[in-house]
Amino acid sequence: MGPDLLRHDHLVELYDSDADLAASVRAFLAPALDGGDTALVVATAAHRAAFAAAFAAAGHDLGRAEAAGRYVALDAAEVLAGFMVDGMPDPARFRAVVGPRLAAEAAAGRRVRIYGEMVALLWAAGRVGAAVALEDLWNALAAGYEFALLCAYPSSVAAQRPVRAEFELMCAQHTRVVVLPGSASRHAPPASGHAMAPVSGTVA
């Protein structure tokens, strides 16, 4: 079991394979489901299916959690489209899309763990500035809501020299950086001064 997550923890993971990602996302979200809290997934269809399979293999009843509103899986591109304006995330629209859901969970007395890959979609499309701006919006949102957030990028982003400065900035926007075994050996390490940590643990 890794160190406890903070109430506003914002982790970023660099991964090589979808199988590795699915395993770590399950480990990150499982404590929320096991503890009566809420897990929110904002991902591609392929990743949502991989996460569901990982949960099923571990014996989790996602159907029951979904019926109770405690496991919510949304399409990353659709959610992203709800707050993008002229190629950049609009702060007011972002708060309008994400804020009410977090407010509802807080009113129900449930903590929230979020896995999101909207930033990775932006990065992959070459919209690196938009990805960095969206990371900032998540951090700003934490001023009003309690949640733990895990973002993930393919580990190859660490080797993209033309946007190395943006990669370092992206790492600096997170409280912890997770590099899975294998990724760290093939790619340059993330920005210094960031704790390397597993994605399990309980929210403090």
pLDDT tens for residues 75-109? Answer: 999 999 999 999 999 999 999 999 999 999 999 99
Q: What is the pLDDT of residue 187?
A: 46
Structure tokens at 43: 């991902």
The share of the chain scoring above pLDDT 90, in percent, equals 65
User: What value does the mean pLDDT of the chain take?
Assistant: 84
In 68-180, alpha helices (H): 76-81, 91-107, 118-124, 128-141, 164-172
CA distance 22 to 51: 5
Mean pLDDT of 133-140: 95
Across 113-142, average pLDDT: 94
Max Cα-Cα span within the chain: 46
Nearest to 196 by CA among 27, 32, 16, 14: 14
CA distance 16 to 71: 25
**What pLDDT band is residue 175 in, cutting at 50, 70 and 90?**
confident
Higher model confidence: residue 164 or residue 105?
A: 105
**CA-based angle 53:187:167, to the nearest 5?**
90
What is the model's pLDDT at position 8?
Answer: 76
What are the structural domains of the chain?
Answer: 10-196 (3.40.50)
- Select from 186, 192, 32 the least CA-distant residue to 115: 32
Report whether pLDDT(161) > 60: no
What integer pLDDT is reported at residue 167 of this predicted model?
Answer: 78
Distance CA(147)–CA(142), nearest Å, equals 7
The predicted pLDDT at position 181 comes to 60
Whether the CB-CB separation of 149 and 116 falls below 8 Å is answered with yes
Please give the average per-residue pLDDT across 179-185, as a whole number. 54
Distance, CA of 62 to CA of 54 (rounded, Å): 11
Which of 4-8, 80-84, 93-97, 143-147 has the weakest average pLDDT? Answer: 4-8
Q: Determine the pLDDT at residue 159.
A: 66
What pLDDT score was predicted for residue 44?
A: 97
Element (H, E) at 51: helix 45-57
* For range 26-34, the mean pLDDT: 95
